[in-house]
Amino acid sequence: MTTTTIRLDSSTRDRLASVAREQFGGVSQEAALNRLIDEHEMRQVHSAYARLRNDPEQWADYQQEVRLGENMAAEGLGNARDEYPEYNR
C-alpha cells in the first residue's frame, strides 16, 4: 500500500487525534479517519433505505427482489441438518 500526505489545519488534526484517543480507544489517526468514513457511508445506506421504505410500491418491489435472490441462492442446496448430522445436538 502506498501512503501519501494530506494537508490539514492543525486544529483539525488535533480534533482527529482527540477522537482517535478518546472515542476509539487510542487507535491511529488513520484508523479513526477510516472508521469515521465507514460510519458516514453506513449512515448514507440507512438513509437510502429509509427513502425507499417511504415509497410503499418501491419498498414492495425491493422486498420481492430480495426474496427472489434468496430463493435463487438457496436453489440446489441441501439441508445442513441432513448433510452434517454430527453437528445436530
* Cβ pair 53, 42 in contact under 8 A: no
Is it the case that residue 42 has pLDDT exceeding 90? yes
Is it the case that residue 77 has pLDDT exceeding 80? no
* Cβ pair 48, 62 in contact under 8 A: no
Taking only the tens place, the pLDDT of each residue in 9-40 is 999 999 999 999 999 999 999 999 999 999 99
* Cβ pair 59, 52 in contact under 8 A: yes
Is it the case that residue 52 has pLDDT exceeding 90? yes
Q: Tell which residue, 33, 3, 31, has the closest CA to residue 15.
A: 33
